Amino acid sequence: MTHIDLHTHTTFSDGTLTPSELVCFAEKIGLTAIAITDHDSVAALPIALQKVRNLKIKLITGIEISAAYPQGFKNNTGTIILSPKHAIHILGYKIDFNNLYLEEKIEQLKQSRNKRNQKIINKLQELGFNICLEEVQQESKGQIVGRLHIANVLSQKGYFPSAKEAFKRYLGDNGLAYFSKEIFTPQEAIEIITRAGGIPCLAHPWLIKRKLSLKELEAIIDDLIKSGLKGIESYYPLYTKQQQECLLSLAKTKNLIVVGGSDFHGKNKDIQLGQAQVPEDILEQL
């Protein structure tokens, strides 16, 4: 069976492969199609599209937009299921990356991220860490700078044994140097993707919150469907077989598109490209 991967990241967000390196690697390992879904960025897409002209692999344009419910999310009995800190990631497929509304919203996120990065750096300096924004920008290869790049620099300088440890103690949601950033609601993320001609899908539903029940997940999905959600990521490397089957069943019941991918970040994440074993025939739904 041939496979595809509809969830990957490049150096234009928090991956370690350039767009050209990623599509070439995907073809080399036998994938027939790949979607680049960088966080809050479409800058990799024109580069990748140019590269695949000389390759046999198919490229699907994409994006991944982070979102959250600013007041939390309650089910129909009034029980709080999600807090404002629980991130919901919306994948957008087959988007027009030249859409002006999309470009405007991406720039809005970029400015917000830049402000937060400077706050984090300032706080880390106050706490005694020898780190500057220029070092972090170099680590990100001049693209979007995020907390992962800051964590990598801290680890490289010997402050922590790993970037994961830096996140846990200082950069995570409860860390000493954590600052929130502007973030869209799930409804806004879906609207942005839809207005750019894309297909909005919920990324890795089982990762939204620890110990999320099927009933709770279904309530979240039903709410997102009202806003225009069209699909769910039913294949993902970290799912159990039971979790995957639950999502495939939910997609069928609610008439949602099935998508899936590895969430490949290169060396920044211990997941291999194509690891989710997504069957090629689901492309027909897109």
- Residue 286, Cβ neighbours under 10 Å: how many? 17
Q: Which whole number is the average pLDDT over 167-192?
A: 91
Given a cut of 80, whether residue 143 has pLDDT beyond it is: no
**CA-CA distance, 68 to 66, in Å (whole number)?**
7
34 versus 286: which is more confidently predicted? 34
CATH code given to domain 107-171? 1.10.150.650
Residue 1 has pLDDT above 90, yes or no: no
Neighbours of 61 (CB within 10 A): 22
Task: Quote the CA–CA distance of 4 and 58 in Å, as a whole number.
Answer: 9
Tens of pLDDT, residue by residue over 163-172, are 889 988 999 8
DSSP for 43-75 reads THHHHHHHHHTTSSSEEEEEEEEEE--TT-EE-
Torsion over CA: 167, 173, 176, 182 (sign): positive
Give the pLDDT confidence score for residue 182 in this predicted structure: 82
Spans of all domains in the chain:
3-96+185-285, 107-171
Contact indicator for 121, 131 with CB cutoff of 8 Å: yes
pLDDT number for residue 280? 95
Q: How confident is the model at residue 192 (pLDDT cuts 50, 70, 90)?
A: very high
Q: What is the mean pLDDT of the chain?
A: 94
Model confidence over 247-267: pLDDT tens digits? Answer: 999 999 999 999 999 999 998
pTM for this model (two decimals): 0.91
- What is the rounded average pLDDT of the residues 190-199? 98
User: What fold is seen in the domain 3-96+185-285?
Assistant: TIM Barrel (3.20.20)
pLDDT confidence tier of residue 161, bands split at 50, 70 and 90: very high
Number of H helices, E strands in the chain: 9, 10
